[in-house]
Every structure is written in structure tokens, then in C-alpha cells.
């Protein structure tokens, strides 16, 4: 066969006239054959040069925002769960140690990987069945800031409304005007006595009284209280291990608490970081609640 010189090629032999696709046309066809799903995985710099980007620009922008939000949420979760995080104090239950609306720095790595919380530590903790909405969408465990007042092996008891840890009164002014006691019978039933008189009470009626009890904290159990002990909802909201617990309404300030476990302690409060002029360390104080009433 005779070889053709480039100068011998006639116009009708070109791709345009023979029906064959030019390289430009082939590239254009390949670009148009890319699905939206495939386009999600193409680098944005390249994607912007493709016709499919112009056709579905809004969709790709939504995808970029969604990815950014997901990465941000994952980063926040990792920081909060394993490293350090700031949190705002809400309420007056930790006065005078912490004030309402102050921001504190919390470490979580030491709680998860270090030693167990000590008596006197100020911690961020969770209560049984207590949840709230984060960003108005996600259901999360509600954070409470309290001080650890008793650890495993300590004896907690209540007598006439006053709670004691190892015989030290936490709240001596909480004494009730009545005596509420109970006896656990051999058959497992409970006999209730109010001011020494036996009463027949429903579970709901028992929630109205502060019954006497005595309990030794087991392994990994802790008792927490606010430093403002007469205006704090904490482990003292409990009638002991034998009586029915008041159900939580998933709101702060309601429901039984009692002992919490180590898994319910999310972080260790280290310092106040805002307002800046009030910045200070938050110290461990194992005797904060034990001396005479403050």
C-alpha cells in the first residue's frame, strides 16, 4: 500500500468529514457521561471545568457545606470526648466557686485514660436518663457541673433530711420537720413510717419525703453535690437503694440522681477562662463541704 504524505491528505479524509469523532468531541462526550455521583469524588478544581458542575452547581455547593459541617461535628466530638473543651456554667448551684455564665476549661483525657476522680474534684457529669437537645436537633446527655463529695468505699447516709458522708454533714440546715423511715420486710415489701406512724404509701407518694437511708458506695461509684448545697440538684436527690426512684422528666432540677458511675463523669474542670478578668484555677478541695456550715 502506498504511504500517503501529510500533504496528500484531502479535506474529505479529516475526522470532520469522515464521521469520526475528534479528540475534543470525545473529551466532551466523556465529560457528559460522568454521573453526579461520580462527580462528587472528583477534585473540585477539575470538577469546576466540567459541564456537569454548571448543571448541578447548587447540589455540589450543598455537598461542600454538608462535608464541612460533618467534619466540624466530628472534630468537636473528638475534642470533647478525648481532649479539652470549654463549657458555660448555667445556674448558681456551684456558687461561690463558679458563677452563672462563666466559661470553664474542662479536660476529658485524664478522666478517660488517667486516674479515677478524687474527692473534692469539680467535674462535668451526667445524671441517669437526663438528656437535652444540642443545636435543637441532636439528643445528648445533659452536662452538670458538680463537686465529687464521696468516692467508692465511702458511706453516705441521710438522717432527718441531712445528708452525711462518713459522718460529716453536707447540709446541716436541710433538717426536716418530720421523720421518714422504712423497713424492708422478708418478702421484699416495704413498710413506711412517718413520724413513727406506719403509713401505706404509693410509689408516687414516697417521692414527697426524704427517707432515712445508709449506703456504702461500691466500686466505681461517686456522690456529687453542688457547692451551693442548699440550691443544687445532685446526688442527694435520692431515697436510697431500696425505694423506687422518682422518674426523670429529662429536665434540669427533676428526678432522682443518687450515686453516679465513672462512665457518667465526662470531664475535670480545670480553670475559669471567661470573663478574662475573673480567670482562675478551679482547685480540688476535699474538705469544701465538710467543715461547719458556711
Q: DSSP letter at 24?
A: H
DSSP 56-68: THHHHHHHHHHHH
- The residue written with cell numbers 403509713 in the block is 199
* 116: helix, strand or coil: coil
Q: What order of strands is seen across the sheet that includes strand 190-194?
A: 180-184, 190-194, 197-199
3-state secondary structure of 229: coil
244's grid cell: 423506687
pLDDT of residue 33: 60
Q: How confident is the model at residue 78 (pLDDT cuts 50, 70, 90)?
A: low
CA distances 141 to 79, 81, 124, 138, 144, Å, are 16, 13, 11, 10, 10
The label of the residue with cell 463541704 reads 289
Q: How far apart are CA 94 and CA 25, in angstroms?
A: 72
Which one, of 159, 291, 123, 145, lies nearest residue 232 by Cα?
145
For the stretch 238-255, pLDDT in tens is: 999 999 988 876 555 578
> Residue 227 is placed in which grid cell?
457547692
Per-residue pLDDT band for 236 (boundaries 50, 70, 90) equals very high
Whether residue 232 has pLDDT greater than 90: yes
Higher pLDDT, 235 or 80: 235
Q: Which run of H or of E encompasses 265? A: strand 265-274
Looking at the DSSP assignment, which residues form a beta bridge with residue 280?
Answer: 272
Count the Cβ atoms, other than its own, within 10 Å of residue 108. Answer: 19
Neighbour-count burial of 264, counting CB atoms closer than 10 A to its CB (0-12 exposed, 13-18 middle, 19+ buried): buried
* Alpha carbon 198 to chain centroid, angstroms: 43
Q: Which helix (H) or strand (E) holds 112?
A: helix 109-113
Note the pLDDT of residue 139: 83
Taking the domains of the chain in order of start, what are their residue ranges? Answer: 20-82, 119-265
Is the Cα torsion angle 143, 147, 148, 149 positive or negative in sign? negative
Query: Is it the case that residue 271 has pLDDT exceeding 70?
Result: yes
| Predicted confidence (pLDDT) per residue in 108-132, tens digit | 988 888 788 999 999 999 998 888 8
Residue 234 has pLDDT above 80, yes or no: yes
How does strand 180-184 pair with strand 190-194? antiparallel
Amino acid at each position: 500500500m502506498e504511504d500517503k504524505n501529510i500533504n496528500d491528505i484531502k479535506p474529505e479524509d479529516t475526522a470532520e468529514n469522515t464521521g469520526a469523532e475528534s479528540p475534543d468531541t470525545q473529551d466532551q462526550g466523556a465529560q457528559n457521561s460522568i454521573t453526579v455521583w461520580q462527580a462528587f469524588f472528583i477534585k473540585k478544581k477539575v470538577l469546576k471545568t466540567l459541564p456537569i458542575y454548571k448543571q448541578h452547581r447548587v447540589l455540589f455547593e450543598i455537598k461542600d457545606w454538608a462535608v464541612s459541617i460533618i467534619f466540624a461535628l466530628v472534630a468537636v466530638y473528638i475534642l470533647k470526648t478525648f481532649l479539652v473543651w470549654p463549657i458555660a456554667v448555667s445556674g448558681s448551684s456551684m456558687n461561690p466557686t463558679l458563677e452563672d455564665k462563666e466559661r470553664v476549661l474542662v479536660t476529658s483525657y485524664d478522666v478517660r485514660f488517667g486516674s479515677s476522680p478524687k474527692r473534692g474534684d469539680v467535674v462535668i457529669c451526667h445524671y441517669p436518663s437526663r438528656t437535652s437537645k444540642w443545636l435543637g436537633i441532636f439528643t445528648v446527655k445533659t452536662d452538670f457541673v458538680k463537686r465529687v463529695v464521696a468516692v467508692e468505699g465511702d458511706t453516705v447516709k441521710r438522717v432527718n433530711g441531712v445528708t452525711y458522708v462518713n459522718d460529716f454533714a453536707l447540709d446541716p440546715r436541710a433538717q426536716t420537720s418530720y421523720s421518714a423511715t422504712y423497713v424492708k420486710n422478708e418478702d421484699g415489701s416495704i413498710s413506711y413510717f412517718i413520724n413513727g406512724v406506719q403509713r401505706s404509701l404509693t410509689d408516687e407518694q414516697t417521692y414527697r419525703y426524704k427517707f432515712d437511708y445508709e449506703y456504702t458506695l461500691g466500686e466505681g461509684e461517686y456522690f456529687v453535690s453542688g457547692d451551693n448545697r442548699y440550691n443544687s440538684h445532685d446526688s442527694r436527690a435520692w431515697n436510697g437503694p431500696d425505694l423506687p426512684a422518682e422518674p426523670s422528666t429529662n429536665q434540669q432540677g427533676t428526678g432522682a440522681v443518687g450515686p453516679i458511675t465513672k462512665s457518667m463523669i465526662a470531664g475535670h474542670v480545670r480553670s475559669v477562662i471567661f470573663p478574662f478578668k475573673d480567670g482562675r484555677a478551679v482547685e480540688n478541695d476535699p474538705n469544701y463541704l465538710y467543715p461547719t456550715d458556711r
